[in-house]
C-alpha cells in the first residue's frame, strides 16, 4: 500500500505543470534576470576584503591563545583575515562609530567582542556581512577554547603531557576565504533558492487536501477506502519531498554551473541545505492544507503570500531587509525559514560548515517537525460533523 | 429469507438547526437494487455519508453486513464500493491509472488488480480512452470513469449517489444497464436519485425520502397501491355537460373528473374495471368520444399525494 501510494504520488506530482513551474522554472528565470540585472557578477566580484578590527588590552592584559590565533589569521592567510589596530578602548569606540573598524576585541580576564549595533544608520549589507563574519569567528573561537579548557579540567594529565596546549588553541579551520564570494548580490540568489524551497509547500498542501474527507471529494473517496490515512500521508510525504527535492536541484545546478554564482562549497552541502529547506516547505504546506474548511484557492493564496513574505523579510527584494527585521523583531529572523535557508548558504560561503550552519539545519528540521505534528493533529479525527 | 446488508434505525442527523435526516429507517437486503428517491436536499447524500461513517450523527444505529461501521472498519470498507455524487478522480492521472490507483487501495495482488482494471474498463466501455486524462473526457464519459473508480475492486455492496446527474441519455442508459448487470453478478446496490423514471426502471425496492424522513417504502407497485389515485383516465371529447361530469364523478372508484381543453381527465382509485364503467356511461348517454388513454400513476404521483408537491417542483 505504501509503495502504491508512493509511486502514484510521484507520477501525479511530476505531471502537475503549474507546481513544477514554481519550483523548477521560476527560480531559473528569476535567477537569470537577477544575473543580468546585477551585471556580470564574476567580473565585479571583489573577493573577501580584510576586515578591520580594533584590539584593546585592559591594563596590558594578554591572552596568548587569542593573540596567536589572531596573528595567524592576519599573517598566514592571504588576503589577511583581519586588519588589527591596537588602541585604547576610547579610540576604538570612536573608530567603531565612524565605521573604521567592524568590531572591538577587548582582552581582559576574558576576551569579549563588541560590534556596532545593526541599527546603526550607516549599516549596509556588506558591513553587516563582515560583522557577522567577525561574530562567527569569535563564537567558534570561544567554542574551541571552552572545549580545550574542559578537556584539561577533566584530565589534568593531558595538560602536563602537552604543555602549551591552551596557548596553541587557535581557531581550528579557517576556511580559505578566497573561495567565498562576498559580493552582497549573492544574497539575492540565496534568497531565491529559499523561495523555491518554500514553494514546495504547494505539494504539501495537496497531500493534506487529498486525504481529508471534508476537504475534497477525492479525500472523501480516500477515507472510505480500506487504506489507512497514516500510511497514505507518510507515503505521499515521502514522494513529495523526493520529487520537490529533485526539481529544486535543477535551479541550484543552474545557478552554480550556468550562472556561476559562488556558493563557496560543493554541491553535496548545497543539496543538504536544499533538502532541509524542501522538507520544511512541504511540511509547512501540509500544515496549511490541513486547516479546516478553507477553500483550496484561499490556501494556495496563503501559501504564495506567506512564502513571498518570508522571502521579502529575508531580503529577496531589498537586501537590507533582514537587518531591519533584526532591529525591530529579531525573533522573526529566528523562525523565518527563508532566513534560515539563505543564512545557511551565507554561512557555507563565508565560513564553511560550522555550528551556525548546523544550527540553521536543526531549526529547519524542527520547524518541519512542528508543522507536520500540528497538521497530523488536525486531520486525525475521522468522522466529521459536516462535510 | 432476506439477509440484511444495511439496517438503519432511527437515524437523526442535524446540521446546527437543520434536521437533514429525521428518524430515518430502512433495511436493505442482499440482492436488492435499492432506490433512495427524493428531491434535492431531502437528505440522501447525508444518509449515505452516515452509512459510511464519514459523518457523525446524533441518534440511531447503522449496521452494515451486521456490524457497526466505524472509521477504522477496514474489512467492511473493503467490501463496499462507492460512487459519490461529485466526480472524484485525479486530473494528473489517465483513465487507466485512475482506475488502477483506486483499485489498488483495495486489491493488493498486482495480477488480480490488472485483471479487475481491464474488466472494469471494458465494463464502462472506456477502452479507447484509457490513455486520456479526465479533463479531455466529456461529461458522460467522466461519470463513467467516476463509476469505474468506485467499482473496480468488485465490491459486494455498491453505493451510487446520483451517478447520472448531467449525463447525456445515451451514457445514462449505459450506466443504468451496467448497474443492473452488476446486480445480476451478485452485488447489492443502493442507488440514490431524484429522477423517478430511473428509479422505477432500475430498482427492485424503493424508499421515498422527503425532509430527511422515509415517507414510504416498498416495490414500485406497492408504492403505487398506497395512494388513492391509482389510475388516470383521459378521454378526448368535443363537449360534455356539467351534469354528465357530475354523474361520472359519482361512478364507483372515480373521485375526480375535470374537463379541460377538449379532454376529460378522470382520476380513479383502486378497482379493475374503471375504464369500462366510464366508457359504458359515455355510450349510454350518446356522448361521442375520440382517443382514450389510461395511465397508471407514476412515482411522482405517489410523491405528490404524500407530500402535496411534485418531485420536480422543489
Ligand atoms: N455540510 C452541510 N452543512 C449544513 N447543511 C448541509 C450540509 N450538507 C447538506 N446540508 C443540508 O442538508 C440537507 C440534506 O442535504 P443532502 O443530504 O445533500 O440532500 P440530497 O443528497 O438528498 O440532495 C439539505 O437541506 C442541505 O442543505
Ligand atoms: Mg445529494
**pLDDT single digits (tens) B114-150:** 999 999 999 999 999 999 999 999 888 999 999 999 9
pLDDT of residue B208: 93
Residue B313 to chain A, least CA–CA distance (Å) = 26
Comparing A114-118, A207-211, B99-103, the range with the smallest average pLDDT is A114-118
Predicted confidence pLDDT, tens digits, chain B (314 residues): 688 999 999 999 999 899 999 999 999 999 999 999 999 999 999 999 999 999 999 999 999 999 998 888 899 999 999 999 899 999 999 999 999 999 999 999 999 999 999 999 999 999 999 999 999 998 889 999 999 999 999 999 999 999 988 888 888 888 899 999 999 999 999 999 998 888 989 999 999 999 999 998 999 888 888 887 778 888 998 888 888 888 888 888 888 888 888 888 888 876 677 888 888 888 898 888 888 888 878 888 888 888 877 666 54
Residue B120 host element (H or E): helix B110-123
pLDDT of residue A171: 40
Q: Left, alpha or beta for B225 (phi > 0: left; psi -120 to 50: alpha)?
A: alpha
Q: Of A157-161, A299-303, A318-322, where does the model show the most confidence?
A: A299-303
Q: Which three cell numbers stand for residue A42?
A: 564574476
Task: Report CA B202 to chain centroid distance, whole Å.
Answer: 7
Cβ–Cβ < 8 Å for A136, A351: yes
B45 CA to centre of ligand 2 in angstroms: 4
Place of cell 495482488: B109
Q: Measured between alpha carbons, how far is residue A383 from residues A212, A223, B10, B41, B57 in Å? A: 10, 9, 19, 21, 9
Q: Measured between alpha carbons, how far is residue A94 from residues A121, A127, B47 in Å? A: 15, 17, 79
pLDDT of residue A262: 82
In a mutational test of the pocket of ligand 1, which residue from B11, B12, B15 has the highest number of ligand atoms less than 8 Å from its CB?
A: B15
Q: Is the pLDDT of residue A8 over 80?
A: yes
Helix axes A26-37, A186-199, angle to 10 degrees: 170
**Cβ < 6 A, ligand 1 pocket:** A 386-387; B 15, 18, 20, 38, 40-46
How many CA atoms are closer than 13 Å to the CA of B13, on its beta-carbon side?
31
- Rounded Cα distance between B205 and B69, Å, is 23
Residue B165 to chain A, least CA–CA distance (Å) = 16
pLDDT of residue B271: 67
Nearest to B88 among A1, A220, A228 (CB): A220
Q: Which residues contact A314 (CB under 8 A, 6 or more apart)?
A: A191, A194, A321, A322, A333, A336, A338, A339, A342
Nearest one of B159, B210, B153 to B53, comparing CA atoms? B159
Which residues pair with residue B15 across a beta bridge?
Answer: B18
- Rounded Cα distance between A220 and B85, Å, is 11
Q: Which residue of A has its CA nearest to B147?
A: A221
Considering the domain delimited by B228-296, tell me its CATH architecture: 2-Layer Sandwich (3.30)
Among protein residues, the one with the nearest Cα to ligand 1's atom 25 is B41
Among protein residues, the one with the nearest Cα to ligand 1's atom 5 is B15
Place of cell 486525525: A380
Q: Which residue of B has its CA nearest to A229?
A: B72
In a mutational test of the pocket of ligand 1, which residue from B12, B20, B55, B192 has the highest number of ligand atoms less than 8 Å from its CB?
A: B20
Comparing A100-109, A139-148, B130-139, the range with the smallest average pLDDT is A139-148
- Rounded Cα distance between B104 and B108, Å, is 6
Residue A371 to chain B, least CA–CA distance (Å) = 25
Q: What are the phi and psi torsion angles at B206 (to 5°)?
A: -135, 140
How many CA atoms are closer than 13 Å to the CA of B287, on its beta-carbon side?
22
In a mutational test of the pocket of ligand 1, which residue from B17, B18, B19 has the highest number of ligand atoms less than 8 Å from its CB?
A: B18
Strand order in the sheet with B213-218: B80-83, B157-161, B188-193, B33-37, B205-210, B213-218
Among protein residues, the one with the nearest Cα to ligand 1's atom 16 is B43
Atom of ligand 1 lying closest to residue A387 CA: 1
**Residue in A19, A203, A221 to test binding to B, most B beta-carbons within 10 Å:** A221
Nearest to A226 among B15, B55, B78 (CB): B78
Q: Is the pLDDT of residue A163 over 50?
A: no
Contact list, A385 vs chain B (CB under 8 Å): 15, 55-56
pLDDT of residue B1: 65
ipTM for this prediction: 0.83
Cβ–Cβ < 8 Å for A42, A266: no
Return the CATH number of A48-167, one of 3.40.190, 3.40.1130, 1.10.357, 1.10.150.
3.40.190
- Rounded Cα distance between A178 and A192, Å, is 23
Task: Report CA A190 to chain centroid distance, whole Å.
Answer: 9
Contact list, A224 vs chain B (CB under 8 Å): 52, 54, 77, 80, 82
DSSP states of B269-285 as a string? -S-S-HHHHHHHHHHHT
- Rounded Cα distance between A326 and B13, Å, is 53
Q: What is the mean pLDDT of residues A223-234?
A: 92
Question: A184 pLDDT band (50/70/90 cuts)?
Answer: low
Comparing A258-267, A367-376, B304-313, the range with the smallest average pLDDT is B304-313
Assign 3-class secondary structure to chain A: CHHHHHHHHHHHHHHCHHHHHHHHHHHHHHHHHHHHHCCCHHHHCCCCCCEEEEEEEHHHCCCHHHHHHHHHHHHCCCCCCEEEEECCHHHHHHHHHCCCCCEEEEECCCEEEEECCCCCCCCCHHHHHHHHHHHHHHHHHHHHHHHHHHHHHHCHHHHHHCCCHHHHCCCCCCCCHHHCCCCCCHHHHHHHHHHHHHHCHHHHHHHHHCCCCCCCHHHHHHHCCCCCHHHHHHHHHHHHHHHHHHHHHHHHHHHHHHCCCCCCCCHHHHHHHHHHHHHHHHHHHHHHHHCCCCCHHHHHHHHHHHHHHHHHHHCCCCCCHHHHHHHHCHHHHHHCHHHHHHHHHHHHHHHCCCHHHHHHHHHHHHHHHHHHHHHHHHHCCCCECCC
pLDDT of residue B314: 47
Nearest one of A370, A301, A307, A302 to A341, comparing CA atoms? A307
- Rounded Cα distance between A324 and A332, Å, is 11
Which residues pair with residue A56 across a beta bridge?
Answer: A106
- Rounded Cα distance between B304 and A322, Å, is 71
B56 with A385: Cβ contact below 8 A: yes
Q: Is the pLDDT of residue A357 over 70?
A: yes
Q: Is A380 on the interface with B (CB under 8 A)?
A: no
Q: Which residues contact A90 (CB under 8 A, 6 or more apart)?
A: none
Nearest one of A376, A378, A19 to A232, comparing CA atoms? A376
Q: What is the mean pLDDT of residues A169-180?
A: 40
Name the residue ranges covered by the structural domains of chain B.
4-224, 228-296
- Rounded Cα distance between A211 and A235, Å, is 12
Q: Which residues contact B100 (CB under 8 A, 6 or more apart)?
A: B113, B114, B117
Q: Which residue of A has its CA nearest to B86?
A: A217
Which residues pair with residue B159 across a beta bridge?
Answer: B82, B190
Nearest to B77 among A213, A217, A224 (CB): A224
A16 with B78: Cβ contact below 8 A: no
Q: Is A218 on the interface with B (CB under 8 A)?
A: yes
Q: Is the pLDDT of residue A167 over 50?
A: no
Q: What are the phi and psi torsion angles at A123 (to 5°)?
A: -70, 130
Q: Left, alpha or beta for B167 (phi > 0: left; psi -120 to 50: alpha)?
A: beta
Nearest to B105 among A13, A220, A227 (CB): A227
Residues of chain A with CATH 3.40.190: 48-167
- Rounded Cα distance between A237 and A368, Å, is 12
Residue A15 to chain B, least CA–CA distance (Å) = 6
B20 CA to centre of ligand 2 in angstroms: 11
Pairing mode, strands B80-83 and B157-161? parallel
pLDDT tens across A38-53, in order? 765 444 444 556 788 8
Q: Of A72-81, A321-330, B154-163, B214-223, where does the model show the most confidence?
A: B154-163
Report the CATH number of the B4-224 domain: 3.40.50.300
Q: Is the pLDDT of residue A194 over 70?
A: yes
Nearest one of B163, B213, B198 to B300, comparing CA atoms? B198
Amino acid at each position: 500500500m505504501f509503495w502504491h501510494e508512493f509511486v502514484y504520488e510521484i507520477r501525479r506530482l511530476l505531471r502537475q505543470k503549474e507546481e513544477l513551474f514554481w519550483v523548477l522554472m521560476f527560480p531559473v528565470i528569476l535567477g537569470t534576470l537577477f544575473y543580468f540585472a546585477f551585471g556580470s557578477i564574476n567580473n565585479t566580484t571583489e573577493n573577501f576584503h580584510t576586515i578591520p578590527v580594533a584590539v584593546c588590552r585592559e591594563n596590558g592584559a594578554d591572552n596568548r591563545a587569542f593573540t596567536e590565533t589572531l596573528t595567524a589569521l592576519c599573517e598566514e592567510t592571504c588576503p589577511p583575515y583581519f586588519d588589527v589596530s591596537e588602541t585604547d578602548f576610547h579610540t576604538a569606540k570612536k573608530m567603531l562609530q565612524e565605521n573604521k573598524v567592524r568590531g572591538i576585541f577587548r582582552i581582559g580576564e576574558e576576551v569579549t567582542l563588541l560590534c556596532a549595533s545593526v541599527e546603526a544608520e550607516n549599516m549596509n549589507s556588506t558591513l553587516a556581512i563582515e560583522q557577522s563574519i567577525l561574530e562567527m569567528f569569535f563564537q567558534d573561537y570561544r567554542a574551541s577554547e571552552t572545549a580545550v579548557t574542559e578537556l584539561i579540567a577533566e584530565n589534568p594529565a593531558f595538560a602536563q603531557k602537552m604543555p602549551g596546549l591552551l596557548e596553541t588553541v587557535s581557531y581550528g579551520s579557517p576556511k580559505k576565504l578566497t573561495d567565498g564570494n562576498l559580493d552582497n548580490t549573492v544574497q539575492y540568489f540565496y534568497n531565491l533558492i529559499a523561495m523555491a524551497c518554500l514553494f514546495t509547500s504547494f505539494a504539501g498542501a495537496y497531500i493534506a487536501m487529498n486525504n481529508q474527507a471534508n476537504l475534497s471529494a477525492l479525500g472523501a473517496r480516500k477515507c472510505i477506502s480500506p487504506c489507512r490515512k497514516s500510511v497514505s500521508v507518510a507515503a505521499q510525504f515521502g514522494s513529495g519531498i523526493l520529487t520537490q527535492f529533485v526539481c529544486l536541484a535543477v535551479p541550484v545546478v543552474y545557478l552554480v554551473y550556468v550562472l556561476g554564482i559562488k556558493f563557496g562549497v560543493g554541491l553535496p552541502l548545497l543539496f543538504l541545505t536544499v533538502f532541509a529547506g524542501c522538507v520544511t516547505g512541504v511540511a509547512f504546506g501540509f500544515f496549511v492544507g490541513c486547516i479546516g474548511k478553507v477553500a483550496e484557492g484561499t490556501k494556495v493564496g496563503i501559501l504564495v503570500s506567506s512564502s513571498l513574505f518570508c522571502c521579502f523579510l529575508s531580503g529577496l527584494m531589498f537586501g537590507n531587509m533582514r537587518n531591519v527585521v533584526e532591529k525591530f523583531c529579531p525573533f522573526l529572523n529566528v523562525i523565518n525559514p527563508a532566513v534560515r535557508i539563505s543564512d545557511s548558504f551565507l554561512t557555507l560561503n563565508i565560513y564553511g560548515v560550522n555550528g551556525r550552519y548546523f544550527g540553521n539545519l536543526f531549526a529547519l528540521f524542527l520547524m518541519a517537525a512542528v508543522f507536520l505534528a500540528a497538521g497530523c493533529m488536525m486531520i486525525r479525527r475521522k468522522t466529521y460533523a459536516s462535510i | 429469507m432476506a439477509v440484511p446488508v444495511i439496517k438503519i434505525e432511527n437515524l437523526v442527523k442535524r446540521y446546527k438547526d437543520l434536521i437533514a435526516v429525521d428518524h430515518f429507517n430502512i433495511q436493505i437486503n442482499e440482492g436488492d437494487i435499492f432506490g433512495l428517491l427524493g428531491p434535492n436536499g431531502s437528505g440522501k447524500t447525508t444518509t449515505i455519508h452516515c452509512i459510511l461513517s464519514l459523518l457523525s450523527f446524533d441518534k440511531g444505529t447503522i449496521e452494515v453486513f451486521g456490524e457497526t461501521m466505524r472509521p477504522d472498519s477496514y474489512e467492511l470498507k473493503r467490501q463496499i464500493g462507492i460512487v459519490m455524487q461529485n466526480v472524484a478522480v485525479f486530473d494528473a492521472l489517465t483513465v487507466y491509472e485512475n482506475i488502477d490507483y483506486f483499485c489498488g487501495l483495495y486489491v493488493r495482488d498486482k495480477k488480480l488488480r490488472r485483471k479487475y482494471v481491464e474488466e472494469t474498463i471494458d465494463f464502462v466501455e472506456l477502452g479507447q480512452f484509457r490513455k486520456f486524462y479526465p479533463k479531455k473526457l466529456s461529461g458522460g464519459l467522466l461519470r463513467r470513469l467516476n463509476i469505474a473508480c468506485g467499482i473496480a475492486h468488485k465490491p459486494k455492496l455498491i453505493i451510487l449517489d446520483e451517478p447520472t446527474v448531467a449525463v447525456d441519455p445515451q451514457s445514462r442508459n449505459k450506466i443504468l444497464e451496467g448497474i443492473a448487470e452488476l446486480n445480476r453478478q451478485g452485488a447489492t446496490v443502493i442507488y440514490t436519485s431524484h429522477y423517478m423514471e430511473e428509479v422505477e426502471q432500475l430498482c427492485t425496492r424503493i424508499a421515498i425520502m422527503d425532509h430527511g424522513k422515509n415517507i414510504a417504502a416498498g416495490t414500485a407497485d406497492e408504492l403505487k397501491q398506497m395512494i388513492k389515485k391509482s389510475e388516470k383516465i383521459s378521454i378526448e371529447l368535443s363537449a360534455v355537460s356539467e351534469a354528465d361530469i357530475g354523474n361520472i364523478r359519482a361512478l364507483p372508484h372515480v373521485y375526480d373528473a375535470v374537463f379541460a381543453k377538449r379532454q376529460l381527465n378522470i382520476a380513479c382509485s383502486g378497482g379493475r374495471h374503471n375504464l369500462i364503467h366510464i366508457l359504458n356511461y359515455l355510450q349510454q348517454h350518446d356522448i361521442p368520444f375520440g382517443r382514450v388513454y389510461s395511465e397508471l400513476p407514476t412515482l411522482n404521483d405517489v410523491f405528490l399525494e404524500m407530500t402535496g408537491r411534485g418531485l420536480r417542483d422543489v
